[in-house]
């Protein structure tokens, strides 16, 4: 037997050169800033920015956001690319209209025009050939019908009559694509910036300061912002016209009356018997007396008044007295409120779903899309700060701990005769969350109560946890009710079982980051993305934290997000109309209303989240460093040969990937020059491997390593405003076992 056979049979060769290929793990667990190295799971993270827990595991790079005012979405809006041949000089002008007619056409009008659009991208290919990007605006007339491959191309100012100036003949026309990928990327970028430039802050020149609140209501988005005068806040909403931005909401007037009877109905025209002034009744609220006794008193909401009513004159309907006029006043909103809203249908009818809200400085309000009502509860200081619904009773909380509810199905009436009621929790309400089975959890800073029941006669307000409270605007529901207390994030279930103990926190692994942020910045709020089972919480500096639920209602770990804007408010939900999506360009939602997520900001814009490839045109910078992995042999020196990465991409992605060893200690590293910056900074790595993936399919990428160490960590980095998101699912390493650590250095 020769030496080679003897070594092979003894296993010497296998022990020396054998490569282990079953070293793999799933990327999950989130950021871990507290556990010692051997206690960390392989898929956890040492540092991270702008990755969030994926819906089906792994880490997903965050989607972008873009400014929003109800006009065409910069990201979603369609475009056409037209290749024009035989062009002399440079006749195309950005913002001009491009028209197409049949070759040789001599009659020029809308009926003979094939299509038109507005020029947003000009690409000169040379030799008289241009590729032009065009989009739809309010001026275009035949965009959706589509351009033909062959046709005469004319350009003109958007206000000029047909046909404009003949500049060439088209040889290609395609919707949402271009002859080459590079041209397509450029035209998409130009199209996006064209639409983005037109989108305005809430209220435009009428307003100043931050967005005070944002809400989704049926087929529109509603927002509030201070008027430029600073003396009031204004309310705005989007319009079904895709080329119309924010529209100011008429808050209407409130007319007070007594001697009421018979009852005035909604839609009745009331007329002053002496003045002849008129108004159409939109809401009628009586809180005292009776119509039968002809002594009802209350108020009437009208959108406008023609003429001027006179004090103590009769209010007639059809020539018959129905009440006596006392006074009237325009409804308005004081500035600087904090808006919290709730959409509910108290009547059960499909057209009775309405928006209810509070803002801490005014009365509560109701809005049905056309009529706005300030609700009078009878409180001396009628400025509720939180709102809820309990079994078709509208609920409000007031400073000092007053918890009140309206009568059953009467959200505008707060008369005890009709079931209005009040209880107290003995401290300012900081947060509340509606639960299942007619329950509402109401929290102060240091304790939590549960309010429950079927009718007001059996409503109960009981102490739920004497030691666990909630910080304002932090409670959200993703299978678990998550909230922020002074000890960190927790859940209602664990608060009930364990109380306010530090070990109960679900954020203990990120506590250093959480404590640092809480000491330096205000809470901006939280928002739920139901399609991702994702809870996102933000500070006022744009730093966010994300967590989601996985199969079995198990919570993932936390990952940090960093937005380049300062958020002030959020809302998410189903939007009944494709607002900011041009009708005919994008498929209608059909029987399913799509979820939309919105964020108000300090700069006065409302932004739509989870859309596009950029932060409103800016780069998304993202990175993460996995926890050091010792391949189940922490005291064995290993030679790592290859890493395999499972990745799912939404489009072309350029990602930089590298590794380091031995907790960042350079000693003994082979084949990789890495320089680690201390103090918790970003890993500054000099040798990078670059991958570029195209397509929307799941892929597996192999990275050659050839490095030595007791453990290994992997670092991912990217920065782009044009690349779509991706999810990194799993990692596996090929390695060979080397010597045991006997106290010597790795070298």
pLDDT in tens, 173-197: 999 999 998 899 899 999 999 999 9
Higher model confidence: residue 617 or residue 418? 617
- Among 330, 351, 377, the domain-final residue is 330
> What pLDDT is attached to residue 688?
39
197 phi and psi angles, rounded to 5 deg: -65, -25
155 shares its domain with 258: no
Asked whether 610 and 713 are in contact (CB, 8 A), the reply is no
- Among 309, 330, 351, the domain-final residue is 330
Where residue 687 falls among pLDDT bands split at 50, 70, 90?
A: very low
Q: Which of 462, 469, 465, 423 is nearest to 444 (CA)?
A: 469
182 shares its domain with 268: no
Order across the sheet with 439-443: list the strands: 431-434, 439-443, 448-452, 460-465
> What pLDDT is attached to residue 551?
79
> What pLDDT is attached to residue 83?
98
> What pLDDT is attached to residue 431?
97
Whether residue 387 lies inside any domain: the answer is: no
Does the predicted TM-score (pTM) go above 0.75? yes
> What pLDDT is attached to residue 3?
56
C-alpha–C-alpha distance, residues 574 and 218, integer Å: 8
**Residues of the domain holding 104:** 80-187
Dihedral over Cα of 328, 332, 333, 334: its sign: negative
Where residue 168 falls among pLDDT bands split at 50, 70, 90?
A: very high
Q: Which of 675, 612, 684 is nearest to 191 (CA)?
A: 612
> What pLDDT is attached to residue 590?
52
CA distances for 588 relative to 69, 283, 585, angstroms: 19, 34, 9
Asked whether 82 and 100 are in contact (CB, 8 A), the reply is yes
Whether residue 456 lies inside any domain: the answer is: no
pLDDT tens for 714-730 read: 999 999 998 889 999 99
178 shares its domain with 98: yes
Longest pairwise C-alpha distance within the chain: 125
Which CATH number does the domain housing residue 673 bear? Answer: 2.60.120
Examine the pLDDT at 432 and tell me if it is beyond 80: yes
pLDDT tens for 51-86 read: 999 988 899 999 999 999 999 999 989 999 999 999
Whether residue 517 lies inside any domain: the answer is: no
Angle at 398 between CA 396 and CA 400, to 5 degrees: 145
97 shares its domain with 162: yes
Of 11-15, 36-40, 169-173, 278-282, the least confident: 11-15
Residue with tokens 């059909």: 590
Whether residue 714 lies inside any domain: the answer is: yes
Mean pLDDT taken over the chain: 89
> What pLDDT is attached to residue 17?
53
pLDDT tens for 354-404 read: 999 999 999 999 999 999 999 999 999 999 999 999 999 999 999 999 999
Whether residue 447 lies inside any domain: the answer is: no
> What pLDDT is attached to residue 10?
53
> What pLDDT is attached to residue 698?
58
3-state SS record for 387-410: EEEECCEEEEEECCCEEEECECCE
86 shares its domain with 52: no
Whether residue 670 lies inside any domain: the answer is: yes
pLDDT tens for 506-517 read: 999 999 999 999
- Among 156, 187, 218, the domain-final residue is 187
For residue 259, the tally of other CB atoms under 10 A from its CB is 18
Round to the nearest angstrom and report the end-to-end CA distance of the chain.
36
Residue with tokens 């065009």: 134
Which DSSP category does 306 fall into?
B
257 shares its domain with 155: no
> What pLDDT is attached to residue 349?
75
Contact residues for 680 (Cβ-Cβ < 8 A; gap 6+): 47
Q: Which of 558, 555, 560 is nearest to 517 (CA)?
A: 560
> What pLDDT is attached to residue 649?
85
Beta bridge partners of 646: 700, 730
Examine the pLDDT at 658 and tell me if it is beyond 90: no
What is the number of structural domains in the chain?
A: 3
Examine the pLDDT at 7 and tell me if it is beyond 80: no
85 shares its domain with 44: no
Examine the pLDDT at 450 and tell me if it is beyond 60: yes
pLDDT tens for 457-513 read: 899 999 999 989 999 999 999 999 999 998 899 998 877 676 654 446 899 999 999
84 shares its domain with 134: yes
635 shares its domain with 724: yes
Whether residue 680 lies inside any domain: the answer is: yes
As given in the structure block, the two tokens for residue 257 are 């009356």
Where residue 8 falls among pLDDT bands split at 50, 70, 90?
A: low
pLDDT tens for 621-632 read: 999 999 999 998
Half-sphere exposure of 121 (CA within 13 A, CB side): 25
Whether residue 271 lies inside any domain: the answer is: yes
45 shares its domain with 138: no
> What pLDDT is attached to residue 504?
67
84 shares its domain with 57: no
Higher model confidence: residue 100 or residue 56? 100
628 shares its domain with 722: yes
């Amino acid at each position: 037997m020769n030496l080679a056979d003897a070594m092979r049979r003894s296993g010497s060769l296998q022990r020396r050169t054998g490569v282990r290929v079953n070293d793999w793990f799933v990327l999950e667990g989130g950021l871990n800033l507290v556990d010692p190295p051997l206690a960390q799971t392989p898929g956890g993270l040492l540092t991270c920015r702008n990755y969030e827990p994926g819906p089906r595991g792994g880490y997903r790079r965050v989607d972008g956001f873009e400014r929003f005012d109800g006009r065409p979405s910069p990201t979603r809006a369609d475009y056409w690319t037209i290749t024009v041949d035989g062009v002399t000089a440079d006749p195309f002008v950005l913002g001009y209209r491009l028209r197409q007619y049949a070759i040789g056409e001599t009659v020029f009008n809308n009926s003979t025009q094939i299509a038109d659009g507005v020029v947003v991208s000009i690409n000169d290919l040379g030799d008289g050939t241009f590729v032009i990007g065009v989009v739809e605006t309010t001026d275009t007339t035949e965009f959706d019908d589509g351009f033909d491959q062959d046709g005469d191309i004319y350009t003109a100012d958007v206000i000029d009559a047909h046909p404009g100036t003949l500049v060439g003949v088209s040889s290609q026309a395609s919707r949402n694509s271009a002859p080459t990928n590079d041209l397509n990327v450029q035209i998409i970028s130009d199209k996006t910036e064209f639409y983005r430039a037109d989108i305005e802050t809430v209220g435009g020149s009428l307003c100043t300061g931050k967005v005070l609140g944002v809400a989704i209501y049926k087929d529109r988005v509603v927002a509030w912002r201070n008027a430029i005068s600073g003396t009031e806040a204004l309310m705005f909403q989007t319009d079904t016209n895709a080329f119309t931005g924010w529209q100011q909401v008429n808050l209407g007037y409130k007319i007070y009356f007594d001697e009421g009877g018979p009852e005035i109905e909604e839609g009745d025209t009331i007329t002053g018997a002496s003045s002849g002034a008129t108004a159409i009744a939109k809401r009628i609220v009586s809180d005292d007396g009776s119509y039968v006794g002809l002594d009802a008193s209350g108020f009437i909401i009208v959108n406008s008044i023609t003429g001027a009513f006179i004090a103590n004159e009769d209010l007639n309907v059809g020539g018959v007295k129905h009440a006596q006029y006392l006074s009237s006043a325009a409804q308005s909103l004081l500035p600087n409120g904090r808006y919290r809203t709730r959409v509910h249908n108290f009547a059960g009818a499909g057209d009775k779903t309405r928006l209810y809200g509070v803002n801490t400085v005014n009365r509560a309000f109701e809005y049905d899309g056309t009529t706005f009502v300030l609700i009078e509860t009878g409180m001396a200081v009628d400025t509720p700060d939180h709102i809820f619904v309990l079994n078709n009773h509208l609920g409000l909380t007031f400073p000092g701990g007053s918890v009140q509810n309206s009568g059953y199905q009467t959200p505008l009436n707060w008369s005890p005769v009709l079931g209005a009621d009040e209880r107290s929790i003995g401290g300012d309400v900081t947060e509340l969350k509606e639960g299942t089975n007619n329950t509402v959890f109401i929290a102060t800073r240091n304790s939590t109560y549960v309010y429950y029941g079927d009718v007001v006669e059996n409503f109960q307000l009981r102490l739920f946890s004497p030691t666990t409270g909630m910080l304002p605007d932090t409670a959200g529901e993703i299978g678990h009710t998550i909230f922020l207390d002074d000890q960190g994030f927790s859940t209602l279930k664990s608060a009930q079982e364990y109380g306010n103990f530090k070990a109960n926190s679900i954020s203990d692994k990120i506590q250093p980051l959480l404590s640092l942020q809480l000491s330096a910045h205000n809470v901006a709020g939280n928002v739920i993305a139901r399609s991702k089972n994702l809870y996102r919480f933000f500070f006022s500096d744009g730093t966010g934290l994300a967590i989601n639920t996985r199969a079995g209602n198990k919570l993932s770990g936390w990952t940090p997000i960093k937005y380049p804007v300062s958020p002030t408010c959020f809302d998410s939900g189903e939007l009944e109309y494709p607002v900011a999506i041009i009708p005919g360009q994008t498929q209608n939602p059909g029987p399913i209303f799509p979820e939309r997520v919105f964020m108000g900001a300090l700069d006065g814009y409302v932004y739509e989240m989870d859309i596009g490839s950029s932060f409103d045109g800016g780069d998304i910078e993202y990175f993460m460093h996995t926890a050091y992995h010792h391949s189940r042999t922490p005291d064995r020196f290993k030679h790592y040969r290859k890493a395999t990465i499972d990745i799912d991409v939404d489009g072309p992605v350029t990602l930089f990937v590298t590794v380091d060893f031995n907790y960042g200690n350079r000693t003994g590293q082979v084949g990789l020059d890495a320089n680690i910056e201390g103090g918790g900074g970003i890993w500054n790595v000099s040798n990078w491997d670059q991958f570029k993936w195209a397509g929307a399919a799941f892929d597996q990428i192999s990275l050659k390593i050839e490095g030595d160490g007791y453990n290994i960590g992997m670092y991912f980095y990217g920065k782009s405003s044009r690349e779509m998101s991706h999810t990194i699912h799993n990692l596996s390493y090929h390695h060979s076992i080397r010597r045991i650590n006997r106290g010597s250095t790795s070298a």
